[in-house]
Amino acid sequence: MAIIGETYTNQITGEQVCFVHTATSTSGAYVQFENVIRARQAGPPMHIHTQQEEQFTVVSGELNLVVQGQAIKLREGETAVVPAGAPHTFDNRTGNDVLFQVKLTPALDSEQMFTEMIRLANERNAARPGLRQLASILQKLDGRFYLAGPPRLFQDLLFSLLAGTVRKTS
């Protein structure tokens, strides 16, 4: 369970996540956190939240979003909303860090996903969790979050096989 005010840091990329509101504090209505992405850092792969709206608000710096193939540049004070089911990603292409807030509505199990991704990446001493670790996380989310490609059926089959391997070897 995430703790309000505690910062979770990826030791390789320097990305930071600090929860402002958790599923518990909002009775599941939403989860909100501040996110720092270092200069010239990539964000996550193109992905989809099937049951959640995701709102991005830049506090300082500049954030690049791609939503359903459309590039959006957000600057300080600007907000963009990604509807549930829309493929999207984000990154920081500038020479400065970007600080932004993310609000996912409803909360579901987002905070566990984000803290687990950071924990597993740190365990591997890598920017991201390994494929088998990612498969295990995605299986727990039961289709509420998946990558925008390859096709979802292929992902479901591959990740269920890989997640089974994780359970047997861990």
SS3 state of residue 151: coil
Rg (CA), the chain: 15
**Homologous superfamily assigned to 7-169:** Jelly Rolls (2.60.120.10)
Using a cut of 0.85, tell me whether the model's pTM lies above it.
yes
Mean pLDDT on 17-44: 96
pLDDT tens profile 43-102? 999 999 999 999 999 999 999 999 999 999 999 999 999 999 999 999 999 999 999 999
Q: How far is CA 27 from CA 31, 48, 54, 97, in A?
A: 10, 23, 18, 32
The torsion region of residue 28 among left (phi > 0), alpha (psi -120 to 50) and beta comes to: left
Statement: residue 110 has pLDDT above 50: yes
Closest CA to 44 of 138, 107, 154: 138
**Given pLDDT bands bounded at 50, 70 and 90, which one contains residue 165?**
low
For the chain, what is the mean pLDDT? 91
The distance of Cα 21 from the centroid of its chain, to the nearest Å, equals: 16
146 pLDDT above the threshold of 80: yes
Using one digit for the tens of pLDDT, what is the confidence trace for 113-144? 999 999 999 999 988 888 888 888 888 888 78
Domain ranges of the chain: 7-169
